[in-house]
Structure 1
């Protein structure tokens, strides 16, 4: 009897825990946010660093649990763009790639348009955050800088919030796993497995956000545009004036002449193959018609009666008849 009472007590406790688990699952999103907020407010233990941790992460103070928010320890995303006019676009593009490689980065995108002096190359370089400004200065030294823009985004608070939410979600996953080990019926086992799968999916999503944020803070993005000496920029295209219109009209004229000569070159073989023989035949036929003798029309003598079947013209009023 005592053993049955103990089993009944354990079954009742497990049912109560399952009920609490289901109720907690219905409001998981709100509880995650509130748990993260409460952990931040109370100075709770933040999540440990991920394997192969990201540079720029905010370390935690031992014992206090608060984040070190000094300037050199904050999580900052650097993005920049620079446009440089160079003499040789291909050579400058190779130098830009070499600069990023020496800094420990790589090329994230490469678009080029090679048309002699009007060539343009647009490269997207990913470099370590601590080498961002040095690489920008080296890229500016490739030619004549025309435009430069640098943006920064401080994501320290978002990083701290993600750490707290990951810690809370890991604890929820562990509690669900303990309940799964204590399940005694098929129904309880299915319920706990579904809840455990949902919590593990939420944890994986948070960890993916953390890795994405770590990638953005560890590697900065620089978009460098290399233009040839005669390439027109967006600023020049938006300008107005006589010289700008003259330059644009001259380019259009050269383009039109290029198109006209291209069409003429495509049609010329057909003209030589068919036009010359047809023109020669037409000229010969016309010359033959001109060389034929033309018979003179007969002239009737003055006062002779008109031929048979032809009526005489009516007399003209006031005209005198011949004697």
Structure 2
């Protein structure tokens, strides 16, 4: 009985011990798995650290290409003094064509004393500096101005707005396909048209920026050898005012003569017939009017009578003549 009792007591104890061992093993396995997670994440962190260090190592040996990935608009202005303006203009056009560009504007003045040519060249942005240097070598460079405008943020903003607007257009189209009433159909069509117009405007701005960043603008001016190399200061004083007034007077006379020259054919075509007609009418009037007779002569004037006393006025009336009636007495009216 004692042995059996001890054996029965030992079985539960063994079971409890086996369960404790299994539980401890499970916990140990979980602990090993948790401890191995940071070790698995360590290579990722190391890779990130290596990725952060890579630009520094690349910057030490290779050029940084981040600037080339930005959207930059290049514009340049060059003035060159040459011996032959026409030949320099032809060479500048050939340089732009060789670089893959074209001529956007061409203004020339071929006067020998003050010849001048102004060209607007559009060349790829990658060839901007090279073309500017080639243009400066055509003669003696007098002035060079280069301006840059970074539109990277504007380009990124336009891309985001275009993507969002396209999604709005697609949403409006889906709603339009599900419209059930006429009023809802009309409203959705108006909304779709407005969204498509906004999308077209954004895309046009994006194309404009893409054109300006892809093709740079160079304005080159060629002047002759007799042209002044320095900007003349503004003249002031009496002589300058007199010179300016004379120029204005000459210009006014020139305008007046131009107007008279324009009116002269009309004066000849209309004025001469009118003058002849007036002359004929005057002649007819003279023929119809009778000639005036001689003026009557005044009677001869005799000698003046001698001066004497003035005769007295005759009396009011002769004694036997009519007399004035007596005055009528005034009568009183009855009350």
TM-score by length of 2: 0.50
1:318 is aligned to: none
Distance in 2 (alpha carbons) for counterparts of 1:161 and 1:133: 28
Q: Could you say which residue in structure 1 is the equivalent of 2:96?
A: 100
Separation in 2 of the partners of 1:107 and 1:239? Answer: 34
Within the alignment, does 1:172 sit opposite 2:160 as a pair?
no
Distance 2:152 2:120 in 1: 25
TM-superposed deviation, 1:236: 2.9
2:67 pairs with 1:71: yes
Give the counterpart of 1:220 among 216, 222, 234.
216
Alpha-carbon distance between aligned partners in 2 of 1:122 and 1:185, rounded to the nearest angstrom: 63
SS of match in other structure, 2:96: helix
Aligned with 2:144 (options 121, 144, 148): 148
Pair 1:69–1:192, CA change in 2 (3 A) = farther
1:230 aligns with 2:218: no
Show structure 1 runs of 5+ residues with no match: 1-67, 257-323
Change in Cα spacing, 1:137 to 1:227, as seen in structure 2 (3 Å) is same
Larger radius of gyration: 2
Q: State the aligned residue count.
A: 177
Runs of 4+ in structure 1 displaced over 3 angstroms? none
Alignment of 1:103-114 (within 5 A): 103-114=99-110
The CA deviation at 1:226 is 0.1
1:127 to 2:126 alignment: no
- Tell me the distance in 1 between the aligned counterparts of 2:68 and 2:89: 32
CA distance in 2 between counterparts of 1:179 and 1:107 reads 48
Higher relative contact order structure (alpha carbons within 8 Å, sequence separation ≥ 6): 1
Describe the SS at the equivalent of 2:68: helix
1:139-188 alpha-carbon deviations (Å, 9 max, x no partner)? 00000000000000000000000000000000000000000000011111
Q: CA deviation at 1:117?
A: 4.0
Cα 1:226/1:217, change in 2 over 3 Å: same
Aligned partners of 2:220, 2:167: CA distance in 1, in Å?
A: 45
Match of 2:184 in 1: 188
Q: Following the alignment from structure 1 to structure 2, what is the Cα–Cα distance between the partners of residues 85 and 140?
A: 9
SS in 2 for 1:116: coil
How large is the Cα RMSD of the aligned pairs?
2.3
Alignment partner of 1:193: what SS?
helix
Structure 2 residues without counterparts, runs of 5 or longer: 1-63, 251-335
1: distance between equivalents of 2:114 and 2:130?
Answer: 28
Q: Distance in 2 between matches of 1:170 and 1:164?
A: 10
Q: Compared with structure 1, are the counterparts of its residues 204 and 154 closer, same or farther at alpha carbon in structure 2 (3 Å cutoff)?
A: same
Q: Residues of 1 paired with 2:213 and 2:225: CA distance?
A: 35
Measured after TM superposition, the shift of residue 72 of structure 1 is: 1.2
CA distance in 1, matches of 2:86, 2:233: 27
How big is the shift at 1:239? 7.7
CA distance in 2, matches of 1:98, 1:92: 10
Q: How many Å separate the matches in 2 of 1:230 and 1:238?
A: 18
* Aligned-residue offset at 1:190: 0.2
SS in 2 for 1:231: coil
Structure 1 residues 154 and 125, CA gap change in structure 2 (3 angstroms): same
